[in-house]
Amino acid sequence: MQNNKKFLPLIIVSIALFYSQISIASFHQALPLGQYKVGFKLFHEYDKRRSFAPKYDYFGEETFSPIGRPMQVAMWYPGKSIADKKPLKYRDFTAFTSSEVDFARQAKGEREQHINSLLNSLPDRAKAGYIKFWQQLTRSYFNIEVAGDNFPVVLYAPPMNSSVHDNALLCEYLASHGYIVVSVAAKGEFTRLQQQSVNAAQVQALDLAYLWEFSQRFTRNKKVAVIGYSLGGLSNLIFANKNKDVDAVVSLDSSIMSQGWLEDVQTTSYYQPSELTAKLLMISKNMHQPSINPADFYQQVIFADKWLIRYDHNTHYYFSSEQLLLRMQFDQFSADDKKAIIDFYADMSRYVLEFLDFSLLGKGDVVAHEQQAIKHSFEQVKANKQPLLPESITGLIIKKGYQYVRPILQDIKSYMPDYIGRLSWRNLNTTAQELVQRGRVDEAISTLELSLEAFPHWYQTHVMLADLMLQKGMKKQAVTHYQSALKDHPTHQASIDALTALGIDYLVYKQRFIPDEELDKYIGKYIVDEQRFRKIYRENGSLFLFSNYWDKPLKLWPYENNLFLIESDDGQSNMQI
Give a yes or no: residue 142 inside a domain.
yes
400 with 463, same domain: the answer is yes
Q: Which is higher by pLDDT, 559 or 183? A: 183
- What value does the mean pLDDT take over residues 114-130? 89
325 with 420, same domain: the answer is no
Query: What is the rounded average pLDDT for all residues in the chain?
Result: 89
* 298 neighbors 282 (Cβ within 8 angstroms): yes
181 with 329, same domain: the answer is yes
**What local confidence, expressed as pLDDT, does residue 520 receive?**
80
Give 283's pLDDT tier (boundaries 50, 70, 90): very high
* 370 neighbors 311 (Cβ within 8 angstroms): no
504 with 521, same domain: the answer is no
**3-class secondary-structure state, position 284:** strand
**What local confidence, expressed as pLDDT, does residue 189 receive?**
93
Distance CA 12, CA 104 (A): 23
- What value does the mean pLDDT take over residues 361-377? 96
Q: Which of the listed residues 312, 347, 381 is the one where a domain comes to its end? A: 381
Q: Closest Cα to residue 142, out of 72, 88, 83?
A: 88
| Dihedral sign for Cα atoms in the order 406, 409, 413, 414 | positive
Q: Which of the listed residues 381, 404, 424 is the one where a domain comes to its end? A: 381
Residue 254: Cβ-neighbour burial (10 angstroms; 0-12, 13-18, 19+): buried
Tally of structural domains, the chain: 3
Q: Where are the alpha helices (DSSP H) in 98-186?
A: 108-120, 124-134, 168-176
Q: How far is CA 141 from the centre of its chain?
A: 35
152 with 294, same domain: the answer is yes
Query: Bridge-partner residues for 117, per DSSP?
Result: none
Written in H, E and C, the secondary structure of 361-374 is HCCCCCCCCCCCCC
What's 406's domain CATH number?
1.25.40.10
535: containing domain: 516-573
Distance CA 77, CA 141 (A): 10
Give 297's pLDDT tier (boundaries 50, 70, 90): very high
298 with 348, same domain: the answer is yes
Percent of the chain clearing pLDDT 90 (strictly above): 70
Distance CA 192, CA 188 (A): 6
What's 292's domain CATH number?
3.40.50.1820
- What value does the mean pLDDT take over residues 427-445? 97
Give a yes or no: residue 274 inside a domain.
yes
Q: Is residue 572 pLDDT above 50, yes or no?
A: no
Q: Which is higher by pLDDT, 419 or 259? A: 419
Query: Bridge-partner residues for 376, per DSSP?
Result: 311
Give a yes or no: residue 251 inside a domain.
yes
Give the lowest-confidence range in 65-79, 426-440, 493-507: 493-507
* 205 neighbors 238 (Cβ within 8 angstroms): yes
398 with 468, same domain: the answer is yes
Distance CA 79, CA 84 (A): 14
**What local confidence, expressed as pLDDT, does residue 509 receive?**
60
Give a yes or no: residue 115 inside a domain.
no
Give a yes or no: residue 60 inside a domain.
yes
**3-class secondary-structure state, position 321:** helix
- What value does the mean pLDDT take over residues 87-107? 95
**What local confidence, expressed as pLDDT, does residue 561 receive?**
64
Give a yes or no: residue 1 inside a domain.
no
362 with 414, same domain: the answer is no
Give the lowest-confidence range in 134-148, 198-212, 417-431, 535-549: 535-549
* 313 neighbors 285 (Cβ within 8 angstroms): yes
- What value does the mean pLDDT take over residues 170-182? 98
Q: Is residue 530 pLDDT above 70, yes or no?
A: yes
Give a yes or no: residue 34 inside a domain.
yes
- What value does the mean pLDDT take over residues 71-79? 98
**What local confidence, expressed as pLDDT, does residue 538 receive?**
85
546 with 446, same domain: the answer is no
Q: Which of the listed residues 467, 491, 508 is the one where a domain comes to its end? A: 508
Give a yes or no: residue 124 inside a domain.
no
248 with 166, same domain: the answer is yes
Quickly count: other Cβ atoms within 10 Å of residue 34's Cβ.
16
Q: Which is higher by pLDDT, 551 or 465? A: 465
29 with 162, same domain: the answer is yes
400 with 371, same domain: the answer is no
Distance CA 118, CA 93 (A): 13
Query: Bridge-partner residues for 181, per DSSP?
Result: 76, 154
